[in-house]
Amino acid sequence: MDLAITAPFVPEQGMTIAGGGFLANAGGKGGNQAVACARLGGKAFMVGCVGEAFGTELLSSLKESGVDTRFVRTAAGVSSGVAVIIVTGGDNRIILDKGANACVTEETVDSALETAEAGDLLVLQLEIGLNAVEYALRKGKEKGMVTLLNPAPAAELRKEVFPLCDYFIPNETEARFYTGILPGSEETVRRCGEILRQKGVRNVIVTLGERGSAYLGEEGNFAVEAFPAEAVDTTAAGDTFIGALAVKLSEGANVREAMIFASAASSVTVSRRGAQRSIPTREEAEKAARR
- Per-residue pLDDT at 229: 85
Give CA separation, 209 vs 67, 190, 269, in Å. Answer: 27, 17, 12
Give the integer Cα–Cα distance in Å for 30 and 101: 10
DSSP-derived letter for residue 183 is: -
Give the integer Cα–Cα distance in Å for 181 and 162: 18
Which residues are known catalytic residues?
A: 239
pTM of the full structure: 0.91
pLDDT in 10s for each residue of the chain, 291 residues? 989 899 999 999 999 999 999 988 898 999 999 999 999 999 999 999 999 999 999 999 999 999 999 999 999 999 999 989 898 987 888 888 999 999 999 999 999 999 999 999 999 999 999 999 999 999 999 999 999 999 999 999 999 999 999 999 999 999 999 999 999 999 999 999 999 999 999 999 999 999 999 999 999 999 999 998 888 887 789 999 999 999 999 999 999 999 999 999 999 999 888 778 889 999 999 999 987
Specify the CATH architecture of the domain 2-289: 3-Layer(aba) Sandwich (3.40)
What's the gap between Cα 165 and its chain centre?
15
Give the integer Cα–Cα distance in Å for 258 and 81: 30
Domain layout of the chain by residue ranges: 2-289
Amino acid at 120: D
Give the number of other CB atoms < 10 A from CB of residue 48: 26
